[in-house]
Structure 1
């Protein structure tokens, strides 16, 4: 008989920077934290079927006991459904999932499950009171091992044992500020899956690395360094997800799906830029992190505008994100000039003394990393997570948020589309500021359309999507020319080829403006948005 019952695990994870580890451990020891060694084996198929379903399966030795644990996706980024079963030995027993909704999957995969990676961790843990209950602090130090590769673990987890989620966030803010922690959304399982997917070495290599680590006292500082090609894959920039709302999705559920995807994009790229796992990312990766953070923030702001009052966005959160968006924008403008426009200028004949290696655009990588690692910025990210978690917690009891989303989304999208159409014919006569605003309007409409896919009539959506993508591309290229021209009139004016650059940019602007005008005209003739049809219960049964 199956006795498995759902236990919702909600925890906030932080990466602990090197200079803060000793102080954090000293604080936990002062609180009389318990120390325990945890050795875990994680199982999946060779093709990672469980990972693709968001499931993690492990056997973990906790002191003298073995515990079999499976974690399933929860309602938000911080939550997982967790089932634990004591085991007499280090052997999986999949029969404990009989009678559950994953019985079929586990029966199908049973003979194909193998140990993909292992973790060796020393944990300091302590339960502490909150205003409404209890939270567990757990500092883990150790490593994830797969084949001949390893990732260090230096993370603090704050798990809500009982009480309100708001109090768990309050406690997390205290530790974040005191120890300058970095918010981390990736679980050990997610990082282990990524490491194992590199397919370097075998289980025997994993065990050999584990034995070597144990012989050295298990110090993560002595782990083998990752090759550059491994870092490229492990720390790949996080891009926007492919969202497809259900045609009958409720307003609140649709908002959460869209906003959570934006938050994930912002936080994951911020974590990489701040230097989690001690990985030495490339200059190109750091440039892309900044770009993806800005894309995520712009998408989130569009999401808040699209859902309006239903999003219940706190004003201070919006202002803080706008502030950091502008700061990142200064670095992004220099990146665009250096990586995209400068090669075009040189190809057009600009003298080589302004080639990328001599153009005096400073590498601001360390400054960007410092910005994302700063407690002030990390606080904003934590505030964003809190907003989404608390919103999700109250959603089932809020009738206003449970009405169908599609009609409101279509209405808002068509208002934005009409605004673009009304101004498109005067685009060539508009000044730079108005052209820049047009680009923002088109980008907002495209993001809004992408959020609403699935809830929109696909036949009407296709021509609008194609026209929007063309218009955004044309306006983006035109905007890059304006940004470069401002640079060569200002800080770049000292370069001997600045006049050449300004002349070429001015000539090219005219051509790109014409292309943008044509793209806007095509968009104006591409129809309007309409809600997707919703199947009746009878149609669904058929």
Structure 2
């Protein structure tokens, strides 16, 4: 497993000349120490179309210095900060390690990695230290020579990198960066326009991706694409976390997928359905694959809770083993299917299509309407749809038909919630309050659906136990407990709906 570190640094352009940069750093820290100069060699890898660099991601193999190895740098939300994944050196002929390839699989989408830039850096390093000798920041004076591979243009420059020590508090680190920047500015340096050495070496060869939608939409179309852009960003960020099997990553990626799909439905007056309906079908497919793993997680948690509540005389070892095996079987199958999906052409094509829709939106005439007017109408449509569904469900007697109707109402509540989220940049607090009401209702309906699914699983486990000659009573008791929970939810729903049924 690669080492993951948080890197906060700033870069400063010192020009193209061979002269040595001089900056007065005295008094910025209790102590300092200059290290011997080192020579660093790095080869950067990317696709032929520079897919990684376009997303401000760098992947390199570095030799020399005390951090030789494979380094993958990923952008973070905070300014000047990135996440770096480090792995030990392996032979260059083997290419980047699979673990790092997996981290960027959603950007590569099956395309091959190849060497794109070679850098040679002569580095002088000055450490800014506290009273105990702990590094507060590293100031690196770099003389860089770059060559675009295989036989592209060469360039060279001088720059200064200032990186905060790993143990530094964020606010203290920012304050120190600001103080160092003042000294460097006084010495004639200025912030580098390039985000990385790689970006500077590539120069005009690097084509940045299209700018995202404005933070505050001016039109109905921008509201729609802004929300879609946010969900694509979330999916790309969560993809490696899902592959690493991090807690809640599958759930969060599934939610982002459902939000994108829901937006395509809510904004049908703004986006051409001939384009978005096929994309929506693919998002439904992806959500289902993610859902299998998520449903397994929810079922395992719920079975554990029910076992904890079960009469100890009924919670025999055989019962526990059967229910644990039920969750384990579904876990292995769903996890395998999920990873196969994330490495498949269909998933990569979905990402390509979603990017294309955002970059060149298939706008209808309604997309030109003022954002606020259209946003309110969108939320009202989704709320009216929810009202029809939930009132019809509440009118039914308890039973399978009501379970199905409440599940459909839950879907409508999600759609109403997500459209409320989408229009918050336009409508502000009223939309936020509406979203909160929809979320509470959706969670209550979700509890009901989880109970239904758990009851189905328990009924099946009971049938298997009976067929094996075991006592079905424990499973019948667990089913009764789930029926009681569902009944409690159904009893609470009328009041919950009354509180949620407010016009925007």
When normalised by structure 2's length, the TM-score is: 0.56
Aligned to 2:44: 123
Structure 2 counterpart of 1:471, from 420, 423, 441: 441
Task: Name 1:324's counterpart in structure 2.
Answer: 286
Residue aligned with 1:490, SS: helix
Which residue is equivalent to 1:415?
381
Tell me the secondary structure at the aligned position of residue 370 of structure 2. Answer: coil
Match of 2:370 among 398, 404, 426: 404
Question: Are the counterparts in 2 of residues 427 and 517 from structure 1 also a CA contact under 8 Å?
Answer: no
Q: 1:123 to 1:410 in 2, by over 3 A?
A: same
Change (3 A) 1:402 1:502: same
In 2, distance between residues paired with 1:447 and 1:488?
32
Aligned twin of 1:359: 324
**Distance (whole Å) between structure 2 residues aligned to residue 415 and residue 424 of structure 1:** 14
- Deviations along 1:274-318, one digit per CA (max 9) or x if unpaired, are 34xxxxx5xxx25x2221121011101121122224234444322
Tell me which residue corresponds to 1:387: 357
Give the aligned partner of residue 231 of structure 2: 262
Contact 2:59 2:72 in 1 (8 A): no
Instruction: Pick from 421, 430, 446 the counterpart of residue 417 of structure 2.
Output: 446
The secondary structure found in structure 2 opposite 1:265 is helix
Q: Secondary structure at the residue paired with 2:218?
A: coil
| Among candidates 338, 344, 347, match of residue 368 of structure 1 | 338
- Structure 2 residue aligned with 1:143: 71
Checking the alignment, whether the CA contact within 8 Å between 1:120 and 1:143 is kept in structure 2 is no
Hey, what does 1:347 align to over in structure 2? 309
CA shift for structure 1 position 510: 0.8
Give the 5 Å matches for 1:97-496: 121-123=42-44, 140-141=60-61, 142-143=70-71, 151-152=86-87, 176-177=109-110, 179=112, 202=135, 246=216, 249-275=218-244, 281=245, 285-286=246-247, 288-312=248-272, 313-349=275-311, 351=315, 353=317, 354-355=319-320, 359-360=324-325, 361-362=327-328, 363-364=331-332, 365-391=335-361, 401-428=367-394, 429=396, 431-456=402-427, 458=429, 460-461=430-431, 464-490=434-460, 493-495=463-465
- Structure showing greater radius of gyration is 2
CA shift in 2, pair 1:485/1:258, >3 Å? same
Instruction: State the 1:434 CA deviation.
Output: 1.0
1:219 is matched with which residue?
A: none
CA RMSD of aligned residues (A): 4.5
> Structure 1 375/503 Cα, relative in aligned 2: closer, same or farther at 3 Å?
same
Cα distance in 1, alignment partners of residues 107 and 412 from structure 2: 39
Provide the C-alpha distance between the structure 1 equivalents of 2:42 and 2:302, rounded to a whole number of angstroms: 44
| Equivalent-residue separation in structure 2 for 1:379 and 1:204 (angstroms) | 43
Quote the offset at 1:372 in angstroms: 1.6
> 2:483 matched to 1:506?
yes
Say whether the 8 Å CA contact 2:228–2:263 is kept in structure 1. Answer: yes
**Partner Cα distance (1:445, 1:451) in 2:** 10
Distance 1:121 1:519, change over 3 A: farther
Return the offset for 1:476: 1.0
Moved over 6 A (4+): 125-129, 153-156, 172-175, 203-207
Label 1:476 to 1:501 Cα distance change in 2 as closer, same or farther (>3 A): same
What displacement does 1:387 show? Answer: 2.5
> How far apart are the structure 1 equivalents of 2:407 and 2:384?
18
Contact 2:303 2:454 in 1 (8 A): yes
Partner SS for 1:385 = helix
Alpha-carbon offset, residue 359 of structure 1: 1.0
CA contact (8 A) 1:406 1:456 kept: yes
Conserved? CA contact 1:252–1:401, under 8 Å: yes
Contact 1:416 1:445 in 2 (8 A): yes
